[in-house]
Amino acid sequence: MIRDVASLWIGARLGEIELASIRSFQRLGHSFTLYSYNPIENVPRGTIQKDAREVFDAGRIIRHKRTGSPALHSDLFRYRLLEKTDYIWVDLDIIALRTFDFTSDFVFGFQDDTLVDGAVLCLPSGSAVLKQLLRYDADTRSVPPNLGGSKKVRYQIRNFMAGGLPIDRWPWGSLGPTLLTSILQETGEIEHAMPVSAFYSVSPDKVAVFAEPKGWDASQAPPSAYAVHLWGKFLRDYVSKNHSNVFPKDSFVARMAHEA
């Protein structure tokens, strides 16, 4: 059975990476649901659009205080999406290489030898991991999880001085792979993790292959790969520096975004 997938976009317009992601799933027959808080100008035809407030309405977009990144909001959103729906969550820099026909309700994979990434994520509603992740919300004020040594002491002091440290002042990525991995290990649900080859066969330091003409194609993926992660931030930085923010015509991303 082909599984339905969903994601969230915060912004008025999709970029080449996001278009490539959505269209890669649609080509394989997937229903793709895109949540947003405001209208998006260029959603691909056939995409199901829904109001993100149905899943998570914090009254604002929760951005990391220092970087301004909405990744924090995305983390909080995806965990609630898994609680309320049967979708598989996918980041909009995931390119599907074959159908997501998983029979298990646990869908996630290692990004390297130690960390599980949440760019592709599904957890059943009764998951012990999901229950712990749902403890965090827009109003959480406490010491960030998974800190050690002097860093933990610093944040304990900051938490005391602030009368509870707001979640947007935690270190960047506090609700991401490190937390997910630690809870998976604690509960034993990490046994469901797929190998690196499933989604993350290209590492962040190799993203140039997605931007250079004829640099990468699906034939180079491992036989066990279901998708490939484009590591959007790193890839956008590379294209900005080397191609003036425009993906070359024969690059993997350009082809995935525009080929029928």
The residue to which tokens 């599980």 are assigned: 116
Which range among 156-160, 194-198, 214-218, 250-254 shows the weakest confidence by mean pLDDT?
A: 156-160
Task: Identify the pLDDT of residue 65.
Answer: 85
Q: Note the pLDDT of residue 139.
A: 92
Radius of gyration of the chain, Cα coordinates, nearest whole angstrom: 18
pLDDT bin (cut points 50, 70, 90) of residue 133 is very high
pLDDT of residue 172: 79
DSSP secondary structure letters along 186-246: HHTGGGGPBPGGGT--S-GGGTHHHHSTT---GGGS-TT-SEEE--HHHHHHHHHHHHTT-
At residue 225, the pLDDT reads 98
| pLDDT over threshold 70, residue 260 | no
pLDDT at 171: 86
Q: If pLDDT is split at 50, 70 and 90, which confidence band does 155 have?
A: confident
Quick one: fold of 5-136+175-258? Spore Coat Polysaccharide Biosynthesis Protein SpsA; Chain A (3.90.550)
pLDDT(256) > 90:
yes
Tell me the pLDDT of the chain averaged across its residues: 95
Tens digits of per-residue pLDDT, 29-74? 999 999 999 999 999 999 999 999 999 999 999 998 888 889 999 9
> What's the whole-number mean pLDDT along residues 85-93?
98
Mapped onto helix, strand or coil, the DSSP state of residue 158 is: helix
pLDDT band at 78 (very low <50, low <70, confident <90, very high): very high
pLDDT tens-digit readout, 97-120: 999 999 999 999 999 999 999 999
Q: Is 214 exposed, middle or buried (0-12, 13-18, 19+ CB in 10 A)?
A: exposed
Give DSSP secondary structure letters for 63-99: --TTT--THHHHHHHHHHHHHH--PEEE-TTEEESS-
Question: Span 169-189, mean pLDDT?
Answer: 93
Which string of b and e fits 231-251 if b means at least 16 CB within 10 Å?
bbebbbebbeeeeeeebbeeb
Rounded to whole angstroms, the maximal C-alpha distance in the chain is 56
pLDDT digits (tens, 9 = 90+) for 199-237: 999 999 999 999 999 999 999 999 999 999 999 999 999
Domain boundaries, the chain: 5-136+175-258, 140-174
Q: pTM to 2 decimals? A: 0.95
